[in-house]
Chains A and B, each alone.
Chain A
């Protein structure tokens, strides 16, 4: 059974701080996605990474896919209250479009 474990599970930080969220698995994924979900809404895609070692930046967010394509990280620089939400990673294996979601990291940024 494929599992994606995220850490930390909860994170509460002050505005302006930096943070990193990790997504780890023992399985290899052909692609990995990061989503953000707000209460009462469905997840919204932030980024897709497909190549081992790939780094993508989205404003203050930096995403990295591990060299072996088993893990990923999300780094947020100078966090803002608007970054508050549930961050989810999701991976798909080669030959399938079945996405396995991680356990989630709930982030709260205090003003």
Chain B
């Protein structure tokens, strides 16, 4: 399967713990996006990368959130000192880049539950 993969698929943690999620995009896709989705809502944009550069970051992202894409391939999203309000599905998407529009291919998501 050459689609976008995310690991882990599920994560249960206690409030105050740190968690890290990984996203492996489709090979040679230049752009990588992170979104957060709560039950019954559409995905909320968190950040996106063009290769290894983080080009835009949502104001929704507090200082507790950080994302990296060190070699322009896989990406990690870390949440420090988790809070119950962080419970959500975290989606990653990648796109080839270039052109007027962007076709994003989404991974299956990581479901985070903060107890």
Q: Footprint of B on A, CB under 8 Å?
A: 4, 6, 30-31, 33, 40-45, 48, 50, 88, 90, 92, 96-104, 106
Contacts and interface: CB of A to CB of B under 8 A. Distances in A.
A74 to B, nearest CB: 14
Given A97-B31, A98-B48, A98-B56, A43 B103 contact: no
Q: 6 tightest A-B contacts by CB?
A: A42-B106, A101-B42, A31-B101, A104-B42, A101-B43, A48-B101
A100 B59 CA distance: 13
Contacts of A97: 31, 48, 55-56, 95, 102
A51 B4 CA distance: 29
Interface in B18-47: 31, 33, 35, 40-45
A104 B4 contact: no
B104 interface: yes
Interface of B: 4, 31, 33, 35, 40-45, 48, 55-56, 91, 93, 95, 100-109
A96 B109 contact: no
Contact of B40 (A99, A102, A104): A104
Contacts of B104: 45, 99
Contacts of B100: 30-31, 50
B43 A106 contact: no
Nearest to A45: B103
Nearest to B107: A42
A50 B99 CA distance: 12
Contacts of B106: 41-44
B45 A99 contact: yes
Nearest to A87: B42
A6, A41, A42, A100, most chain B CB atoms within 10 A: A42
